[in-house]
Structure 1
Amino acid sequence: MTATSETAIRPLDHLALRGSDEAPALVLRGETLSFKDLRSRISLLAGWLQSRIPEKGARVASWAAKGELTCLMPLAAARAGLVHVPINPLLKRAQVAHILADSGARLLIGSPARLQTLEPADLAQAAPAGEGEALAEAAALGSALGASTADPDELAAILYTSGSTGRPKGVMLSHANMWLGAESVAGYLGLASDDVTLAVLPLSFDYGQNQLLSTWYAGGSVVPLDYLTPRDVIKTIDRHGVTTLAAVPPLWVQLAELEWPKETAAKLRRLTNSGGALTEDMVRRLRALFPQARLFAMYGLTEAFRSTFLDPALIDSHPTSMGKAIPHAEILVIADNGQVAADGEEGELVHCGPLVAQGYWQDPERTAERYKPAPAASRYGGVAVWSGDRVRRDSDGLLYFVGRRDAMIKCAGNRISPQEIEEAAVATGLVAEAVALGVKDERLGQAIHLIVRPAPGVSGFKEELPRKLMQVLPNFMQPQVIHWRDAMPISPNGKIDRSGLAMELAQAVAA
């Protein structure tokens, strides 16, 4: 995968080499690591990983809250010649077991409490190791690895994201994908060595990891935070002089409702939005709360990282625009006739260029559905990501989102597979049929509505189903509303009429 001629692409672990030795790189609860410390600990963890898994290209998974281990793993695994599989700490046993089996991970490093929730069969391939144990053994072993000489096109990470149907699928990212993503974001955000990024997004997401990587590319420092309440965000910004904050729309809603001390709000230089579009009202509220901060509206997808951003100078006049292509991305709007759409004409967003990932892990069928030859108009050619999202471009070249082609539910910044929720409901034995739908919601983006038909002869299902779903699904997959039906509507093709149910729910909510 090649980038522009002026770009020098390095193996991913070289990002740790960019900051000044004594400059702060990672602010942990008990200590602050300088870039010199960061380099040392990445080398030691990489040496330990290589001693545990000497085979190049083997997968190693991590499943823990934000901390030293999860922040070091993307670079340490890359240095050891391994492929990192970060697992969202909010996931529960069923989802984690699937990811471990699908990826073939040889090692799972996690918090002891999380590891204890897994069954022996879940760990048939992946040897478990506690995060504290891993860090202590790495320090004791003292086997420091030097900087990697990997080919930038080699696989560096597999990030699992829900598909429109079925279980999560693994998106394969190369060293080059992640290096260029870091360079691109650091460039258009204007990150510098005196910037402090508050990492509140999960590190299992593409942009969550990029919080680390783009900041370190610029030589700045990162403060990882698993917040309990929005007020924790304000306190941490004030305590550490945070200059950069990325969040999803539901968190922006909560943050905008709080009273911000003026001196704390003034510390922020830039705000970036991910995981769903901001409303015009929210743009106005954020601009009023943080008049000195530049607000970046962005659009992206894991299959090609980030695609577009809106110049903050245009956010007041074009609050609903997705902007234009980020550096290293080429974005085309392709009409239904296969040609580049005219200004104002709706078409599919197609992402071309070196940020395009390598496809889905061990899933050639789904890879072929999304990763296709680039349109003839592309200056890059090769393989492009056909997003399935419908957009239009105005006469100034600004893009606007129209709608989604697939059935994904986007709730609180999470992309959720309806089928995964439906399968969990049916698996309880309380439900004969289930349909999960996303219904427009001001705070969540989309709220999860679950329509179910009870299994014959079962009693107490209305009280039991929510309880059982809480046991098997993570919090962000829990339905906000459950609707009970004696029968499901059937479409002419003999399937459950999902479109009819979606229309009915939308009308009921609007009424």
Structure 2
Amino acid sequence: MIELDPVPRPIDWLPARGAPDAVALEDRVGAIDYAGLEATVARMAGWLAARRLPAGARVASWLPKTRVAALLPLAAPRVGLVHVPVNPLLKRAQVAHILADSGAALLMTQPERAATLEAGNVPPDCAIAIEAEALAGGDALPASEADPDALAAILYTSGSTGRPKGVMLSHANLLLGAISVAHYLRLTDADRVLGVLPLSFDYGQNQLFSTWAAGGRVVPLDYLTPRDVIKAVERHGITTLAGVPPLWVQLLEAEWPEAAASSLKRLTNSGGALTPRLVRALRARFPGADLYPMYGLTEAFRSTYLAPELVDAHPDAIGSAIPLAEVLVVRADGSEAAPDEPGELVHAGPLVAQGYWHDLERTAQRFRPAPAHSRYGGIAVWSGDTVVRGADGLLRFVGRDDEMIKSAGNRISPTEVEEAVLAGGEAAEAIAIGVSDERLGQAVVIIARANGDASAAEQALRARLRRDLPNFMQPARYEWRDALPRNANGKIDRATLRREIAA
């Protein structure tokens, strides 16, 4: 287990954590050691510097898990630029929104992806670069001496209303988050971590950073089937696998060679709660692996984890605060909730992000002064999630106040889906609701009023959304109605529809 080092430094200091000749990254190109990792980041930073972008300019990447996608989060901040990773599953409409909202000056992508973009998708002052150019590199730049509080990345995450919003993360946010996770997961330089989660997610990106903080090896993987994951675990001797509940369901349904199952020493979960049934199944399939259930917010990276030795006795708990975080349970009046009394989860400390990019209103709603009894003080993230702290000191999740849909580990804004549904005119009104689904966690259901024949509208709508929305946002089913219920304000009564669908 690495020493907990709470000193904030620039994020590109991470390669210094590993032994120079130890493998840091193993991908489709081959293996690269820590000395090579540092050299490649330095040359990539030099290539970016030669573009002469102004300090603080945003550099977006729309890539699968290539070497450039893995190293750009270190190279861009080294030059004083801000990295904006874009989920590779997103399609051009969503990419266009992120490029415009972030004010990106450069989009790093691949020729085949660039070819899908149409006029107006890329802002006129945003250049497109092909990743091979950056990998060729330029004059090597030394490690950054940036202020640890300087902005290093903007990660876009969906809200319950409106389009995705950009969470602003500093060098210190990213580096201290990596050190915290590496510490409580007890990662070592002998660990091999399989990166199956998108690098545009804080959870996926941290797999790189926390592994490098411990001096271990990351193996990024773009996979199509659970069998691809199993083969990679066996081929690379993977010790650590992170996932979301739907992935665990799929992996448990597949056949595991004994050598692959026994190589895993650590399983980590976020993006949805593990059920007791799923915990038992993971224990049975991977008896030699420690299981780490976790709860997190992009706005504060990660908030809690449940230690492996507590999982069997407390499968319903989300645990306690991770290192370098303070997690409070707060009443509506701002005072501390009593044991077993529901309250809002409030996260304080150095992992709290800097707010939402160019969105003062939503920043003021979520990022507010910490409660008076906080030991950290300063600005805290008020999650909107209701939890209780038991007499045993463990936190348990009660409910989510917003209307986010969590499907296959993805956070989906119902408003964004509704806007896409209504854009083609097949439906006059539409509401998107998440319903419980054994495999996905939640599935997207559309309740709508058609313009004309409902059957023809659904056929046309399905065809259009297959072009306009990524796979994880596709509605699982449609319910067509002659009228949608209204509340006292004349708005569509989402709560009533949710109850009806759940009944």
Conserved 8 A contact 1:53-1:106? no
The whole-number CA distance in structure 2 between the counterparts of 1:477 and 1:405 is 21
- Secondary structure in structure 2 of the residue aligned to 1:387: strand
Q: Match of 1:53, as an amino acid?
A: R
The whole-number CA distance in structure 2 between the counterparts of 1:48 and 1:344 is 55
- Secondary structure in structure 2 of the residue aligned to 1:295: strand
Q: Which moved more, 1:498-507 or 1:462-471?
A: 462-471
The whole-number CA distance in structure 1 between the counterparts of 2:255 and 2:307 is 27
Q: Match of 1:109, as an amino acid?
A: M
Q: How far does residue 164 in structure 1 lie from its aligned partner after superposition?
A: 0.8
Q: Which residue of 2 aligns with 1:94?
A: 93
Q: How far does residue 338 in structure 1 lie from its aligned partner after superposition?
A: 2.3
TM-score between both structures, scaled by the size of structure 1: 0.96
Consecutive unaligned residues of structure 2, counting only runs of 5 or more, are: none
Q: Which residue of 2 aligns with 1:173?
A: 169
Q: Which residue of 2 aligns with 1:423?
A: 419
Aligned partner (choices 237, 244, 247) of residue 241 of structure 1: 237
Conserved 8 A contact 2:25-2:219? yes
Q: How far does residue 476 in structure 1 lie from its aligned partner after superposition?
A: 0.5
Q: How far does residue 130 in structure 1 lie from its aligned partner after superposition?
A: 1.2
Q: Which residue of 2 aligns with 1:376?
A: 372
Q: How far does residue 135 in structure 1 lie from its aligned partner after superposition?
A: 1.5
Q: How far does residue 490 in structure 1 lie from its aligned partner after superposition?
A: 1.2
1:139-150 mapped onto 2 (5 Å cutoff): 141=138, 143-150=139-146
The whole-number CA distance in structure 1 between the counterparts of 2:289 and 2:454 is 56
Q: Which residue of 2 aligns with 1:220?
A: 216
Q: Which moved more, 1:407-416 or 1:167-176?
A: 407-416
Q: Which residue of 2 aligns with 1:133?
A: 133
Q: Which moved more, 1:438-447 or 1:164-173?
A: 438-447
Q: Does 1:489 align with 2:485?
A: yes
- Structure 1, residues 173-199: CA drift from partner, whole Å, max 9, x if none? 000000000000000000001110000
Q: Which residue of 2 aligns with 1:198?
A: 194
Q: Match of 2:291, as an amino acid?
A: L
Conserved 8 A contact 1:296-1:309? yes
- Structure 1, residues 120-159: CA drift from partner, whole Å, max 9, x if none? 32221211111123323x1xx3x10000000000000000
Q: Does 1:73 align with 2:83?
A: no
1:109-124 mapped onto 2 (5 Å cutoff): 109-123=108-122, 124=124
Q: Which moved more, 1:328-337 or 1:160-169?
A: 328-337
The whole-number CA distance in structure 1 between the counterparts of 2:37 and 2:386 is 42
- Structure 1, residues 255-300: CA drift from partner, whole Å, max 9, x if none? 0111212221111110000111111100000011111110000000
The whole-number CA distance in structure 2 between the counterparts of 1:360 and 1:125 is 22
The whole-number CA distance in structure 2 between the counterparts of 1:42 and 1:110 is 17
Q: Does 1:264 align with 2:260?
A: yes
Q: Match of 1:394, as an amino acid?
A: G
Q: How far does residue 308 in structure 1 lie from its aligned partner after superposition?
A: 0.1
Moved over 6 A (4+): none
The whole-number CA distance in structure 2 between the counterparts of 1:164 and 1:174 is 24
Q: How far does residue 458 in structure 1 lie from its aligned partner after superposition?
A: 8.3
Q: Match of 2:383, as an amino acid?
A: S
- Secondary structure in structure 2 of the residue aligned to 1:118: coil
- Secondary structure in structure 2 of the residue aligned to 1:303: coil
The whole-number CA distance in structure 2 between the counterparts of 1:490 and 1:54 is 50
1:153-192 mapped onto 2 (5 Å cutoff): 153-192=149-188
Aligned partner (choices 447, 451, 457) of residue 455 of structure 1: 451
Conserved 8 A contact 2:4-2:183? no
1:271-286 mapped onto 2 (5 Å cutoff): 271-286=267-282
Q: Which residue of 2 aligns with 1:306?
A: 302
- Structure 1, residues 8-58: CA drift from partner, whole Å, max 9, x if none? 221000001111111001001131001111111100000001111331111
Aligned partner (choices 391, 403, 406) of residue 407 of structure 1: 403
Consecutive unaligned residues of structure 1, counting only runs of 5 or more, are: none
The whole-number CA distance in structure 1 between the counterparts of 2:306 and 2:394 is 8
Q: Match of 1:116, as an amino acid?
A: A
Conserved 8 A contact 2:387-2:396? yes
Distance verdict in 2 for CA 1:347–1:403, change over 3 Å: same
Q: Match of 2:128, as an amino acid?
A: P
Q: Match of 1:199, as an amino acid?
A: G
Q: How far does residue 396 in structure 1 lie from its aligned partner after superposition?
A: 1.1
Identity %: 63
The whole-number CA distance in structure 2 between the counterparts of 1:290 and 1:457 is 51
Distance verdict in 2 for CA 1:312–1:5, change over 3 Å: closer
Q: How far does residue 492 in structure 1 lie from its aligned partner after superposition?
A: 2.0
Q: Match of 2:321, as an amino acid?
A: A
Q: Does 1:470 align with 2:466?
A: yes
Q: Which residue of 2 aligns with 1:207?
A: 203
Q: How far does residue 494 in structure 1 lie from its aligned partner after superposition?
A: 1.0
Q: Which residue of 2 aligns with 1:503?
A: 499
Conserved 8 A contact 2:4-2:180? no
Conserved 8 A contact 1:349-1:387? yes
- Structure 1, residues 458-502: CA drift from partner, whole Å, max 9, x if none? 882121111111111111100111111111111122111111100
Q: Match of 2:110, as an amino acid?
A: S
Q: How far does residue 234 in structure 1 lie from its aligned partner after superposition?
A: 0.7
Q: How far does residue 456 in structure 1 lie from its aligned partner after superposition?
A: 4.5
Conserved 8 A contact 1:101-1:125? no
The whole-number CA distance in structure 2 between the counterparts of 1:189 and 1:232 is 25
Conserved 8 A contact 2:454-2:480? no
The whole-number CA distance in structure 2 between the counterparts of 1:106 and 1:62 is 11
Conserved 8 A contact 2:45-2:75? yes
Q: Match of 1:276, as an amino acid?
A: G
The whole-number CA distance in structure 2 between the counterparts of 1:458 and 1:482 is 10
TM-score between both structures, scaled by the size of structure 2: 0.98
- Secondary structure in structure 2 of the residue aligned to 1:170: strand
The whole-number CA distance in structure 2 between the counterparts of 1:191 and 1:458 is 54
Q: How far does residue 457 in structure 1 lie from its aligned partner after superposition?
A: 7.5
1:264-343 mapped onto 2 (5 Å cutoff): 264-343=260-339
- Secondary structure in structure 2 of the residue aligned to 1:306: coil
- Size of the aligned set, in residue pairs, is 500
Aligned partner (choices 339, 350, 356) of residue 346 of structure 2: 350
- Secondary structure in structure 2 of the residue aligned to 1:16: helix
